[in-house]
Structure 1
């Protein structure tokens, strides 16, 4: 009989050393922490992760930006420019499974903490380097942030209304995707380590992440040489698949095939559109997009968002309202799926946070630890490494911690 381990994360026993800040790296390590990994976040003394200063908004003096990315981690401060600080990192590496860093290209090597140096200390180490443009190539030393790559990577060229100035996506989607890829990369490297006993070097970059998301758009360009343009909420290959104005707002109607097209027409009573041969198949609906969207907009403007969504939902046709984030978080389905949880914070009290999106039946993830205060676990970590109370005082006096 298969043994079941309830409420134990699948990564329990895996130690992660996080030498990253801002978004992509911390998000990657938090995903691992949510699944049970012991993540130790190392920050600069007196300053910490720069997102601690991304305010407002804040709760009891803590940046909500920082809080959103650093739960389930222990935190310590360490000056990596000091010899004592580097020695502490080496000791931590000796017992770590994963290291995640997002310093500028070459920084870790200048510190004597690059992968080639650290794998000599721990050959089983999975070292993950997160960067803007990758660690090789002509642009490897260029500075990069999410917004820069939304532009450079092509995302802003297809985001927004036709004829309007370029706009960015509302989420930091490039950073977040890079964090996802980084966590996936280290998990694959861990799997290989189980078979070979050896760690390896893993890379994830903002550029490659956003380019990889181009998928069907990039494939179309490689086939035709024609770059897609901004189309608002519309889809270049599927019609109707966009937002429509209503009496009191907007509604999404998403029809990806001809079968659902007929169901939609029946649900909304659009018999004239259903019987029109120009709209019977998607290729023709794309061809006659302007005419069709115009006719559907006349209908949608005569109804409220709820009237349309109720009809679509009753018929099993994809569609829905455009919620703001407060409305999303108030949805009963969010509560049902445990996507809002609470954890005790040392200064805030009970802190509400987003839940775990991946559900595992036998080894689920969990939110166990609130995001650490700056340096909260420094003494605890150093004590574990064998430093005495006197040593710790001395390190603090020297600005190492």
Structure 2
């Protein structure tokens, strides 16, 4: 799991099992985070991914830079590993023709442009489906492929506000608060990856491709799940409750003798176990605390009583003791502490890879596991255009034609 791989997949992989998506050919037109997140799932599990990077800007013009940073930034390296790259000027007829040559042999194209952009470039699904009827075309937009917001730029921060996520995040009375990760981008990418797998499964039966798409708005609203359902079914507008849980009591951060712990015991069985472990039989005897509804009503009193007990012992004591009786309890880590945890180390979530310029770096490993298949990053993120000559040669382009394309700024 922690084996370091130097450069691209090669002879060192000949004796290892083929990854699940080996043979799947993907063209990556994505930028920022949502689209690359979808592509990363496919790349991590063996798909042959060719990233279509922007051409070099004219001399004297500002350099192209993705919102996740330059190609050597940690964020960019984490998003685009296990790929090859070619620069293409899709606005030019020659660049578009190269792209169409790639499409003819591809299984999947993934993009997260605004809907109107791909139509202007003539690389929308209807443009490509006619030359490759088996093509699966995946799209992520900010707000959907149709409707009054279709051409708005979609950003995670804006989607968090529009879906109500910010209204249920933060402490009571503190006002709307952004979640600390790009949860809208990541969720849209994860959902599109699932969408693509469903379409590929369907293609096995029909022999034909399909356009599949999602948006930050749809994906993030889906993630609001029980808060959204409380409004749709119960007519209740959820509010922020901080580190507490709106319906599961007790749930909160609690002080200990040397820090804080996360603790939750919302079920009758867990509540009974908590009362016993904390040597508080009188809590169980209180009729108004004996039901879920009663514990919600008396949340503040219950949490204060628990805090009086937890602050008498250490983090380690409560984490070990409570988990031993089936009560979920855990530490509050900073990021450096996360990767020192023995369970995180065991799961291989800090995955090493060798980059020719950066040396050996560690990236965030895939959360997926396939029994019998080694989980590792096969190759570091290439510089934009690094594989252009190889990719074009595989298409049958000769050295002279490749040189001309390079001279003309097409690649």
Match of 2:209 among 199, 209, 216: 199
Q: Report the counterpart of residue 58 of structure 1 in structure 2.
A: none
CA offset digits 1:240-279 (Å, max 9, x no partner): 0221233433211111311011111212223222222221
Q: Deviating runs (4+, > 6 A) in structure 1?
A: none
User: Number of aligned pairs?
Assistant: 391
The TM-score, its normalising length taken from structure 2, stands at 0.91
- Structure 1: tracts of 5 or more residues without a match: 55-60
Moved more, 364-373 or 258-267: 364-373
Q: Report the counterpart of residue 313 of structure 1 in structure 2.
A: 323
Alignment pair present for 1:86 and 2:111: no
Per-residue deviation, 1:301: 3.3
Q: Report the counterpart of residue 8 of structure 2 in structure 1.
A: none
The TM-score, its normalising length taken from structure 1, stands at 0.93
Match of 1:249 among 259, 266, 279: 259
CA offset digits 1:217-261 (Å, max 9, x no partner): 111111232211110011111100221233433211111311011
Q: Report the counterpart of residue 100 of structure 1 in structure 2.
A: 110
Alignment pair present for 1:125 and 2:141: no
Match of 1:234 among 238, 244, 247: 244
Alignment pair present for 1:217 and 2:227: yes
Q: Report the counterpart of residue 262 of structure 1 in structure 2.
A: 272
Q: Report the counterpart of residue 53 of structure 1 in structure 2.
A: 69
Where do 1:43-192 residues align within 5 Å? 43-46=53-56, 47=63, 50-51=66-67, 53=69, 62-192=72-202
Per-residue deviation, 1:364: 4.9
CA contact (8 A) 2:33 2:68 kept: no
Moved more, 386-395 or 68-77: 386-395
CA contact (8 A) 1:9 1:363 kept: yes
CA offset digits 1:88-129 (Å, max 9, x no partner): 110010000000001111111111111111001100000011
Per the alignment, do residues 9 and 49 of structure 1 end up closer, same or farther by CA in structure 2, a change over 3 Å counting? farther
Per-residue deviation, 1:208: 0.2
Per-residue deviation, 1:53: 2.6
Moved more, 68-77 or 291-300: 291-300
In 1, Cα distance between equivalents of 2:17 and 2:282: 55
In 2, Cα distance between equivalents of 1:36 and 1:365: 10
Match of 2:342 among 329, 332, 340: 332
CA contact (8 A) 2:167 2:175 kept: no
Moved more, 338-347 or 98-107: 338-347
Per-residue deviation, 1:158: 0.5
In 2, Cα distance between equivalents of 1:201 and 1:365: 30
Where do 1:278-317 residues align within 5 Å? 278-317=288-327
In 2, Cα distance between equivalents of 1:99 and 1:279: 55
In 2, Cα distance between equivalents of 1:203 and 1:186: 9
In 2, Cα distance between equivalents of 1:193 and 1:364: 27
Q: Report the counterpart of residue 35 of structure 2 in structure 1.
A: 25
CA offset digits 1:141-190 (Å, max 9, x no partner): 11111111111111110110001132211111110010001100111000
Moved more, 161-170 or 207-216: 161-170
Match of 1:272 among 278, 282, 303: 282
CA contact (8 A) 1:268 1:311 kept: no
Per-residue deviation, 1:51: 4.1
In 1, Cα distance between equivalents of 2:139 and 2:331: 40
Moved more, 273-282 or 375-384: 273-282
CA contact (8 A) 1:35 1:364 kept: no
CA offset digits 1:3-51 (Å, max 9, x no partner): xx96321111000000001101111111001111001111112355604
In 1, Cα distance between equivalents of 2:230 and 2:76: 39
